[in-house]
Amino acid sequence: MRNLIMLLFLPLSIWAVDKKNSNSLSPQTLSVQCPPNITVQEGAKYDTSVTGFPVVLSNSGGAVTITYIEIFSNGNCANGSDLVNRNFTIRNALGEIERCSQSIFIRHLRPDQLRIPTDTTIEYPKDKKLAEAILRYPLSLGSIEVTFIDTKVSNLCNIPVRVKRDWSIRDKCSNTVIKKSTNITLMAYQNSFEHTKSVVGDVCFSEGEIVLTSKGEFGPYTYLWNNGATTNALYGIPAGNYSVVVTDAFKCNNLISISVTSIAETADVGGLISTANNYRVNPDSIYISDVDNVTKFCSSSNGGLHYAFKVRSKKTGMIDYRFVKRSQVLDGVSTKDIVVIQKHILGKQKLTDTLRYFAADVNRNFNVTSSDIAEIRKLILGIKDTFTDVYPWYFFRPDWKSVITKNNSYESIYFKGLNITNYPRLNGDVLAVKMGDMDLSYNNSLQNTSSRSSLQTSSSIQYLLEYKNNETILKIFLNQEEKNIEGFQCELQLKSDCKIKSVSSTLLESDQYCIQGNTISLSVSTGEVLNFEDSVPFLILHLENNIHSCEVEDFLSFGQRISNEYYTESGEIFELGLKLFQPRNSTFLQLVPNPFQDYLSFLELSEADFLNVIIYNSNGVVLINQQISGNEKLDCANWPAGIYYYYIHGSGSKLQNGSLIKF
């Protein structure tokens, strides 16, 4: 076994030795001579055209490449020179390598070697500092520190501008200072206002930036932009044209103009995303299969393209991407949409538009039924935040009508990307469909609660508070000035300290209202004209609190989550009003006198009229809470002077509240 191991390893040993020997038998053919060390004056060039390059003495290994790195070391007062070590690497095609080094000594200038002119006429340079153009040396010198103070001599800013520059030249080693002056006549003075401009463009919304860095020597500079900003930088700005007046220390100024581009101008791919009635839709996100090829994407609310993106590599063929929107679920959805579906189900007005049929099918059972109504109504009432079986938004190909057939699924008409043959491709338009929006009322409004009608309010929600047997009852009525109301919706909010104990209704189905806390949401429709009596409450609520702690004034208010509106048979939308209950042909109640002293009574009421009266003082203490006859006087002689509040109502009378003053 030991012999077998030796036999197995012996050829490997020999092979390694043979390879080594074969290399050693082939001498390297590459030899070079490095350039000699050299000393140059500070400020002079020291590139390889001045200091030299390695010379190839021999080479039979093919093409030669030479590279180098530099290591810089600062000098000091003792050696008076900076040192640059330049390390060369020389390589031929066979892989043979030679290395060598060169030392470059940069001798520091002395103060007496700087030639500072007494007078000079010069154009303000664009490519370097003015001081360097005058001195003909860089300001960053090894043993010398150069500073200066400028004084404008000429009165105006007209070219030529005359400036006196007082120089201070300090020897860093001896710390001695030499003072000199130069009278400068400047041509091309406008060049002193040159700035380095850093601009972030391709703007979607307001993420643009402009940063100006001054190149001139006549600072500090001040800035006044056309948008009122006074700094050298603008952040969070939209696309557009910007201009800034730059003023130097001499009170001379110059105008700089800069454009921040919109991505709509620079995009490689883009298009419009809108509803069937041309309202813009902003998706929440976009999914792109080749996302690494996209440098920037945006969906903009500004003018121009609705969406756009830029790509690194302009590949032709199919680009797969799709849009997603889960927000604005309730936008464009109202009880009027339910009325449209109800009329379809009842056969009164069938849906003929494929898009509306698609939008109505919120249960995705490929049919329009009462279950779709129930799903939409839950959304309006706030019972659900979104649909259960569908997304709130879908995005279709613009040519969907030519693609869809009876046997095709909806999948065939969804937007999935573009086939691109040439760039830019900016007509990649997309049709957005809002689920549940049967009347196409989505209008890209930021608030769904804004009134959708300019028609004057006439019909209203009215309410009445009653106090019986130590219980407060809230009755809610629909006052119909129009007799052809097909539906209404609203959100009512009770005062925060009044809680709902129970609710009853003989006119509404239980799925037409929802009570959450002290908020009442209503979505009422049947597909027919509503048959509500003005004097009959459609909703009765029993409250936990006594009326003592609930002021009648503004006891109910409209919420902001949904539009408070009603719909007529002709399809018009009206804004819904809200007021205290007032039966038709009611009597006006009036307590007199006001101001009062010893008593109060009701004006023009008979003994047969009975009223519920509550009077309380400014501290909320109830002084009177009883039912009295119309001709009865209220004794107030012992009440102190001050302000009092009342609440009264009676059979066939107007509910009223107000204030009284006692002297």
Give the C-alpha separation, 170 to 173, whole Å. 9
pLDDT score recorded for residue 657: 72
**What proportions of the chain, in percent to the nearest 5, are helix, strand and coil?**
15, 40, 45
Give pLDDT, residue 25: 47
pLDDT digits (tens, 9 = 90+) for 129-161: 999 999 999 888 999 999 999 999 999 999 999
- What fold characterizes domain 31-107? Immunoglobulin-like (2.60.40)
Q: What is the pLDDT of residue 545?
A: 65
Read off the pLDDT band of 595 (50, 70, 90).
confident
**Least confident window among 1-10, 330-339, 521-530:** 1-10
Q: Chain-wide mean pLDDT for the chain?
A: 86
For 601-654, the pLDDT digits (tens) are: 876 665 556 677 888 888 878 888 887 776 788 899 999 998 888 877 765 445
- Using the structure block, give the residue that is written with the tokens 């609520």: 541
CATH topology of 460-580 equal to that of 591-662? yes
pLDDT of res. 22? 37
Beta-strand pair 195-200/208-214: antiparallel
- pLDDT tens per residue across span 53-112: 999 999 999 999 999 999 999 999 999 999 999 999 999 999 999 999 999 999 999 998
Cα atoms found within 13 Å of the Cα of residue 209, Cβ hemisphere only: 8
Closest-CA residue to 130 (of 146, 113, 143) = 146
pLDDT, greater one: 643 or 470: 643
Distance, in Å, from the CA atom of 186 to the CA atom of 216, rounded to the nearest integer, reads: 13
Ordered by start, the domain boundaries in the chain are 31-107, 111-191, 194-261, 268-448, 460-580, 591-662
What is the pLDDT averaged over residues 387-396?
Answer: 96
Establish whether the linkage from the previous residue to 593 is cis, with ω within 30° of 0.
yes
Instruction: Count CB atoms within 10 A of the CB of residue 142.
Output: 18
Site of tokens 């009440």? 639
pLDDT at 424: 94
Structure tokens at 496: 């925060």
Q: Residue 538: CA atoms inside 13 Å, Cβ hemisphere, count?
A: 24
Judged against a pLDDT cut of 90, whether residue 167 lies above it is answered with: yes
Q: Which residues lie below 8 Å from residue 623, measured CB to CB, with a gap of 6+?
A: 615, 616, 617, 639, 644
Model confidence at 406, pLDDT cuts 50, 70, 90, reads low
The reported pLDDT for the residue numbered 1 is 34
- Per-residue pLDDT at 552: 61
Percent of the chain with pLDDT over 90: 63
- Average pLDDT, integer, range 363-381: 94
Residue 520, pLDDT > 90, answer yes
Q: Which CATH architecture fits 591-662?
A: Sandwich (2.60)
**Strand order across the 294-299 sheet:** 269-271, 307-311, 294-299
Torsion of CA 224, 226, 229, 231, to 10 degrees: -50
Q: Is 399 exposed, middle or buried (0-12, 13-18, 19+ CB in 10 A)?
A: exposed
Highest-scoring range by mean pLDDT, 46-50, 404-408, 589-593: 46-50
Helices marked H in 107-231: 130-135
Report the pLDDT value the prediction gives residue 8, as an integer from 0 to 100: 29
Q: Quick one: tokens of 534? A: 């003005």
Confidence of residue 594 (pLDDT cuts 50, 70, 90): confident
Beta strand 285-288 with 317-324 is: antiparallel
Residue 553 pLDDT class (50, 70, 90 cuts): low
Q: Which fold has domain 460-580?
A: Immunoglobulin-like (2.60.40)
User: 308-317, 348-357, 588-597: which range is least confident on average?
Assistant: 588-597
Q: Give Cβ neighbours of residue 527 (< 8 Å, ≥ 6 apart).
A: 339, 342, 343, 345, 346, 348, 486
Sequence-ordered list of residues with C-beta below 8 angstroms from that of 292, at least 6 positions apart, any chain: 312
Element (H, E) at 148: strand 144-152
Q: Does domain 194-261 fall into CATH 3.40.50.300?
A: no
Residue 85 has a CB neighbour count (10 Å cut-off) of 15
Least confident segment among 163-167, 418-422, 517-521, 659-663: 659-663
At residue 3, the pLDDT reads 35
- Give me the DSSP letters along 617-629: ETT--EEEEEEEE
Mean pLDDT of 576-588: 70
Task: Reduce the secondary structure of 218-255 to three states and give it as a string.
Answer: CCCCEEEECCCCCCCEEEEECCEEEEEEEECCCCCEEE
* Average pLDDT of the segment spanning 545-560: 69
Q: What is the mean pLDDT of residues 39-44?
A: 93
Bridge partners, residue 431, by sequence: 274, 396
Confidence label for 466 from pLDDT (cuts 50, 70 and 90): confident
Determine the average pLDDT of the residues in 23-51.
86
Query: What pLDDT score was predicted for residue 544?
Result: 80
pLDDT digits (tens, 9 = 90+) for 190-223: 999 999 999 999 988 889 999 999 999 999 999 9
Burial grade of 24 (CB within 10 A; 0-12, 13-18, 19 or more): exposed
What's the rounded mean pLDDT across residues 588-606?
76
What pLDDT is attached to residue 504?
Answer: 93
- What was the pLDDT predicted at 235? 97
Within 13 A of 566's CA, how many CA atoms are on the CB side? 25
The pLDDT-based confidence of 232 (bands split at 50, 70, 90) is very high
Residue 598 corresponds to which tokens in the numbers above? Answer: 């010893």
Q: Is the pLDDT of residue 547 over 60?
A: no
Distance between CA atoms of 602 and 562, rounded to whole angstroms?
Answer: 42
pTM for the predicted model, two decimal places: 0.64
Percent of the chain surpassing pLDDT 70: 87
pLDDT (0 to 100) of residue 601:
83
Which token pair is 66? 């030479």
For residues 518-534, average pLDDT = 93
Q: Is the confidence at residue 451, as pLDDT, over 70? A: no
pLDDT at residue 455 is higher than 80:
no
- In a 13 Å sphere around the CA of 171, the CA atoms on its Cβ side amount to 14
Tokens of 589: 């109640």
How high is the pLDDT of residue 92?
94
